[in-house]
Chain A
């Protein structure tokens, strides 16, 4: 599998990273370097191997259904790049 310029453009779009046109080609080269190296995993037969879902033997923790958080709108706004009262503000989103 080989990554080309268009693939890099598509992935960058999915990842919401602006990549200048002239950087697409070099990035494709770098990624190919990495993916070629990773290809060695294909040597291993993993047909009957389960994928790892959890590295520790631990049961998922559950919480009780109680309200003990929230009410921090002002606190949240302190780090906000732009806000109006306690709304976060972003450029108009067109539906």
Chain B
């Protein structure tokens, strides 16, 4: 499998004047996992009383100065390494100047021309099992803003600065995504990577990860020209959809926005470069007029800070401590014998992948994956639980799957056994012994059960001789008779012999 972006099919929008393709780039804001803020010692914990996780620095009080949190620098470097990106040993913090009530200093400390992390790459995994490369343009550190609440009073907005100054990583992609599926898959993959790295909790409900999605459309072929010579003139004018906070909404926003743009262009209009908002209730994007004012952020290096200089040996230490990342894990799982798609589902969450690996120890990889997918994940989805909620350990599941594989129990009993240990607890092997769940392979016992079924159903015996397909009914009855413990293969063979059925029956 050689993953390349341009070889995959772009999503085509059928317009009235022809086919259009979508081009998507993304800016993801990921909250750095740290105890305290980027430039102050206030806590980053979610859900505190208004303004109670705010230091005088965060509130922009006169004379207050920023001092950088080493953990945030380390996390940015770790993320950069996880994105296979270039780490810039010298980066500079700039001030981005604008007025907003939730921006207490009147500027955001960010990185403009010299970010801490340069170009990198992310492979995204599609449903058909293919992989697509999305280029990362850069990653930089910046401060989050506070929050304005508009629904507390008819005339006023209320400002809470608890978020103000929390460290964010802004991760900017190249415009390499071509469909709503790719856009959602990118965000899913990026989330998996930062969670593996432990640099962001990826909690989208709490705003730990938000995406600004840049969407443009062009006539079919425009994108390949762009990739060939790098000139943006082949692409359409883009609109930026702000603060989209789930994979599903990313996909929906892209779908809506691309169609909207095609309609405007085909109607003789032109696309205005603007910032738009995705309304998940109405499933549409709309212009954010308040952001329409011409921006002039007057970036300049923050004179309260000096250039951020990293020691190459320190970066190397972090590199050595990186965990196995989803792509490497996926490759290993595929080598075990899983399909690429199954492997990418399992590696999406580190906890799930770890669970799978423990479950699959010493058993057939595929059988273990099937067991996990069908028996465990199915049940979790039904109850809206996560892998962390499973009451049965991976080791216990490993025991169950192992017992199926060596013929100790039947597949049917395995499911019952799981139910027992799930609801009542206990060690699967002990439960099997205590409750006599071992598979019956003793032909004497099977033959006895067959005789009993035949004796009770003489009419069916005649029927099955005419219609050999009815043998399955007999197998079922015999299984019932043995409490599910009989080996279905052995039952089938004995039945055929006893009733003189042809082999294909």
In-complex A–B contact (CB below 8 Å): yes
B306 A70 Cβ-Cβ under 8 A: no
Chain B residues near A12 (CB, 8 Å)?
Answer: none
Known interface pairs A65-B34, A65-B72. Does A85 touch B50 (Cβ–Cβ under 8 Å)? yes
Within the assembled complex, what's the spacing in Å between the Cα atoms of A1 and B446?
101
B149 → chain A, closest Cβ, in Å? 7
Interface of A is mostly: loop
A95 → chain B, closest Cβ, in Å? 6
Within the assembled complex, what's the spacing in Å between the Cα atoms of A50 and B35?
37
A20 at the interface (CB under 8 A from B): no
B68 A76 Cβ-Cβ under 8 A: no
Complex partner residue of A67 from B42, B72, B156, CB under 8 angstroms:
B42
For window 470-497 of B, CB contacts with A under 8 Å fall at none
Within the assembled complex, what's the spacing in Å between the Cα atoms of A62 and B154?
44
Q: Give per-residue flags for B149-180: 1 if the beta carbon is below 8 A from chain A beta carbons, else 0.
A: 11011111111110000000000000000000
A34 at the interface (CB under 8 A from B): no
A62 B156 Cβ-Cβ under 8 A: no
B309 A59 Cβ-Cβ under 8 A: yes
A40 at the interface (CB under 8 A from B): no
Chain B residues near A18 (CB, 8 Å)?
Answer: none
Complex partner residue of A60 from B49, B52, B153, B307, CB under 8 angstroms:
B307
Known interface pairs A14-B298, A53-B301. Does A95 touch B288 (Cβ–Cβ under 8 Å)? yes
Chain B residues near A61 (CB, 8 Å)?
Answer: 67-68
Scoring A67, A84, A94 by chain B CB atoms within 10 A of each residue's CB, the highest score goes to A67
Complex partner residue of B158 from A68, A71, A73, A89, CB under 8 angstroms:
A89
A13 → chain B, closest Cβ, in Å? 8
Give the number of residue pairs across the A-B interface with Cβ within 8 Å. 133
Chain B residues near A54 (CB, 8 Å)?
Answer: 306-307
A65 B52 Cβ-Cβ under 8 A: no
- With an 8 Å Cβ cutoff, the count of chain B residues facing the other chain is 52
B105 at the interface (CB under 8 A from A): no
B92 at the interface (CB under 8 A from A): yes
Chain A residues near B321 (CB, 8 Å)?
Answer: none
A68 → chain B, closest Cβ, in Å? 4
B403 at the interface (CB under 8 A from A): no
Interface of B is mostly: loop
B110 at the interface (CB under 8 A from A): no
Q: Give per-residue flags for B50-66: 1 if the beta carbon is below 8 A from chain A beta carbons, else 0.
A: 11111111110000000
B99 A16 Cβ-Cβ under 8 A: yes
Within the assembled complex, what's the spacing in Å between the Cα atoms of A53 and B303?
8
Chain B residues near A35 (CB, 8 Å)?
Answer: none
What residue in chain A is nearest B72 (Cβ atoms)?
A65
For window 421-473 of B, CB contacts with A under 8 Å fall at none
Within the assembled complex, what's the spacing in Å between the Cα atoms of A95 and B288?
7
A72 B68 Cβ-Cβ under 8 A: no
A73 B49 Cβ-Cβ under 8 A: yes
Within the assembled complex, what's the spacing in Å between the Cα atoms of A91 and B153?
10
B338 at the interface (CB under 8 A from A): no
Chain B residues near A91 (CB, 8 Å)?
Answer: 155-157
What residue in chain A is nearest B288 (Cβ atoms)?
A95
Can you offer 5 A-B residue contacts whose CB atoms are under 8 A?
A61-B68, A70-B53, A70-B58, A84-B152, A89-B159
